[in-house]
Amino acid sequence: MSTLKVYAYYPGCSLEGMAREAEEAFFRVAAYWNINLKEIPDWNCCGSSSAHSICHDLALKLAWRVLALCPEDATEILTMCPSCYTRLRVGLAEALERKEEFLALFGKEPNSSWRVRHFVEVLGEKDWQKVQGSPLAGLRLAPYYGCLLFGPAKLPQEIRDGVLEEMLASLGAQVVSWRYAKQCCGTYLSIVRPDFVSEIVAKMTDEAYRLGIDALVTPCVMCQLNLEMRAKEDSFIPIFHLSEILALALKQGESSWFKRHLIDPLPLLMRKGLLP
């Protein structure tokens, strides 16, 4: 009898705080597909954001420590955050180039079999057409990848283009193509230049209104927060994390998740019959 593959799960900082509902939703989806997750013990920040901006060496070694803590029975490291995904991939590439330095710090060599994977990539390998019915029928959804999943340029692209569209369409949603699917939402400037970021978000939501989009779906919790936080006051287009919309399609959704959103999605979900 074959054993279930073990993924070393790296939550990252945002999923332990402001976006815990996205993680809860992902756990429901992972259980549905028998994805075996083993959380990396005593994990730390991956070095994204401020550390990465200020000190490359510090950010690199934060990522290295995460890799060094991976359970021995897992060679695939799974994360939900595109920023974490990028930092861990960069960290792994440099660890394999600087094996002696990694060994001196952590008492073990980096494993050449390690592979950092984003949850979109893993879920995109599942056969979503096997889900009964068309649970997302009647929803006009626009995928929003953000700008980090397909970089950095020096590393091979692992995320298959169009994977979000395929998953959502398989579940019955009407997927709307739009020009902003991979444009940066301005998250990295959201605090220091909120005026500039609000302009970016306004252009995106204006386009969504023009196309008659019911909601945006993103795999990035930082994009989700930024698109809600910097939206116009009269905006009513909800922003779903991908894990939330997939959990809803599998009848695993919780109304309590959506009470934490800054743009209330509950009227849309109740109108479409996705929540009682």
Task: Please name the amino acid found at residue 75.
Answer: T
Q: Is 186 left (phi over 0), alpha (psi -120 to 50) or beta?
A: left
CB 123 within 8 A of CB 33: yes
Residue-wise DSSP of 65-105: HHHHTS-TT--EEEES-HHHHHHHHHHHHHHHHSHHHHHHH
Q: Which whole-number Å values give the CA distances from 94 to 12, 76, 153, 197, in the listed order?
A: 20, 17, 15, 33
The total number of residues shown for the chain amounts to: 276
Task: Please name the amino acid found at residue 156.
Answer: P
Which residues in the chain show pLDDT less than 50? 1
- Rounded to an integer, what distance in angstroms lies between the CA atom of residue 161 and that of residue 78? 19
CB 76 within 8 A of CB 92: no
* pLDDT value of residue 1: 44
Which tens digits make up the pLDDT trace of 206-245?
999 999 999 999 999 999 999 998 988 888 899 999 999 9
Residue whose pair of structure tokens reads 């792994």 in the numeric block: 92
Angle between helices 56-68 and 82-97 (to 10 degrees): 90
Domains and CATH numbers, the chain: 6-121 (3.40.50), 131-271 (3.40.50.11810)
Which residues, in sequence order, are CB contacts of 103 under 8 Å at separation 6+?
109
Global pTM value: 0.93
- Rounded to an integer, what distance in angstroms lies between the CA atom of residue 26 and that of residue 16? 13
